[in-house]
Amino acid sequence: MSAKAEALGGAGESKLSPQFHVAHHFDKADTQFDAGRMGVWLFLVTEILLFGGLFCAFAIFRSKYFPSFVEAHHHLDRVMGGINTIVLITSSFTMALAVRSAQKNETKKTTLLLAITLACAAMFLVVKYFEYSHKIHDGLLPGGNFTAADFASGHPGIFFAIYFMMTGIHGVHVVIGMGLILWILLRNQKSEFSSRYYAPVENVGLYWHLVDLVWIFLFPLLYLVG
């Protein structure tokens, strides 16, 4: 046994070995990896159902209050929405590269890419903070809290109720994703991932891609489609 293996695991497996991470109720690493991936995909399906319900609600209220939705969506900042779209697409790209580098035992590169992904997520929230602040200042608020003037249609508050709900829930997912990315970043700095064990990085990457994908649908739906 090498000195490195002894330092990491003593008489057992080293941290670079898949057996080091196998839980007692799995017979081998491959079984645990497949079960974990399946669990993540099932979780992502429930997330799709959640946002699918919100998209259905948007479609129903848009058809019922079409003039209000058309007028209200012009008050969204397309520039800020576009910036956030570019930021999230970039973060999805760096996340994919981070998974690949973890598979290739490139620990330092993985840390850098995860840090860039985390920075992009933080930038998204900063832009959203300024966007929300502008809406609150102008009285573009949900439902009965809507106080903005100069609207010809009768129910613009319904649009902003759905807007804040959909983007707010998405924002919560971004915050959760940042926590997960930070978690695997710290673990990666301890050299816990390698070509033999990278499941947490891949699973967090799958979650982050869903967060990006949802925004790619939200941006045109709320900001561009009249």
Per-residue confidence (pLDDT) for residue 20, from 0 to 100: 53
Residue 134: Cβ within 10 Å count:
14
What structural domains and CATH numbers belong to the chain? 28-225 (1.20.120.80)
Give the percent of the chain with pLDDT over 70.
Answer: 85
d(CA 161, CA 169) in angstroms, rounded, equals: 12
Residue 40: what pLDDT?
A: 87
The whole-number average pLDDT for the span 151-172 is 90
Instruction: Give dist(CA 93, CA 128) in Å, integer.
Output: 21
Q: What is the mean pLDDT of the chain?
A: 86
Band of pLDDT at residue 60, cut at 50, 70 and 90? very high
Long-range contacts of 199-203 (CB under 8 A, 24+ apart): 199/21, 199/32, 199/33, 199/36, 199/37, 201/98, 201/99, 201/102, 201/110, 202/37, 202/99, 202/102, 203/36, 203/37, 203/40
Identify the pLDDT of residue 82: 95
Q: Which DSSP symbol is given to 8?
A: H
pLDDT at 5: 39
Question: In this predicted model, what pLDDT tens digit does every residue of 92-148 receive, in sequence order?
Answer: 999 999 999 999 999 999 999 999 999 999 999 999 999 999 998 888 888 778 787
Token pair in block for residue 23? 């839980």
Binning pLDDT at 50, 70 and 90, where does residue 181 land?
very high
